[in-house]
Amino acid sequence: MDAVKLAAIGALLLAASGVAILTGVLSAADAGAIADRVWPILLFVVAVTIVAELSATAGVFDMAAAWLARAARGRVLVLWLLIVGLAVVVTAFLSLDTTAVLLTPVVVAVARANGLPPLPFAFTTVWLANTASLFLPVSNLTNLLAAHRLGGTDAGAFLALLGPSAVVAASVTAGLLWLVHRRALRGRFTPASPPRVADAVLLRLSALVLVVMMPLLVSGLPPWQPALAGAIALVALFAWRSPGTLRLGLVPWQLIVFASGLFLAAGALDALGSGALLAAVTGSGDDLPSLWQLAGTGMLGANAVNNLPAYLALEPVADSPVRLAALLAGVGAGPLITPWASLATLLWHARLSAVGVAVPWRRYVVWGLVAAPVTVALAVVPLALR
């Protein structure tokens, strides 16, 4: 699914939502409430995308990965473990899409520069982009949607609830990745020379913006505020140092159209009574079997359609903080089976194709059939123990 198709689907959903409003299925007041809930989320997505894109252009991610290669001192397993840590941090603070889109080509380039097979590193970024997206509200669009029911912008409250599950999900993922790729992760390599820095001032100041912005994202401020401030700072910096880099394409217009249409369409379906039907499938209660039932339904929905519509459809039946957290575990850590299960996976595949790395989809699906249910099931256990 390329950007044009994504925008086309969003336009169709917006048109269908418009019909729902005109026919009274979705009231104007309900549509307004959806818009009021969604605009800060979409503004954050736009701002953090600009920050990530410009930081990557400045070479921040390239230099970070090159530093990790030197820090590994020629040991392949150590380099991979450092990449795992970097993927978790980038996903937690800058969202899963940033890991999939911007970190993937960087780790592929590092692997190639050091004479290592790129696929183990590429699979690491896409799996952790999904499973490490449970740490913070800003890690995933579904988390931001749920945040208003889980302490708002209070990252501490979110982390207190989902932190243990996030640690389990990321740890299980890393363990499974090592098990699958253990042969390729043995041995040593000769560290390559660091990449050339085109503009050292641009690199250092871009890195400084990231370092300042990331803790502010979890400071209790609405996430769109520090993200927007970071985007403005980097746009001003690039206007000074590299004005030719700035373009309208930095704004993810297609994602905005898609998400807007999806939010309104989900509101219309809820008004038609979809919640009652889904409640029969997902059950009720905060015990472990009930939480597994809800998380499993979310995982299946994400892999059948996509994680965002799966979350929006199931949100009304997640009627307690623990059940909502279980749903987030299902739609966040579960999209590991089908290529369309999350937008991050589709973007990951596009970036790999652009750098000439073929994705063995059959292998991806087979491994995902094992990894997704195991990761989701274990990530839900800490929620039941509360």
pLDDT digits (tens, 9 = 90+) for 12-58: 666 666 666 666 666 677 667 777 778 888 888 889 989 989 999 99
**Structure token pair of residue 40:** 């800060």
Task: Work out the average pLDDT over 273-300.
Answer: 81
**Structure token pair of residue 138:** 């800003």
**Structure token pair of residue 248:** 């309208």
pLDDT digits (tens, 9 = 90+) for 87-135: 999 999 999 988 988 899 999 989 998 999 999 999 999 999 999 999 9
pTM assigned to the model: 0.87
Q: Bridge partners of 75? A: 188
Report the pLDDT value the prediction gives residue 156, as an integer from 0 to 100: 86
Q: Are 291 and 322 spatial neighbours (Cβ–Cβ below 8 Å)?
A: yes
Spatial separation of the C-alpha atoms in residues 298 and 307, rounded to whole Å: 8
**Structure token pair of residue 176:** 């499974």
Count Cβ atoms below 10 Å from residue 356 Cβ, excluding itself: 9
Q: Are 341 and 127 spatial neighbours (Cβ–Cβ below 8 Å)?
A: no
pLDDT tier at 267 (50, 70, 90 boundaries)?
A: low
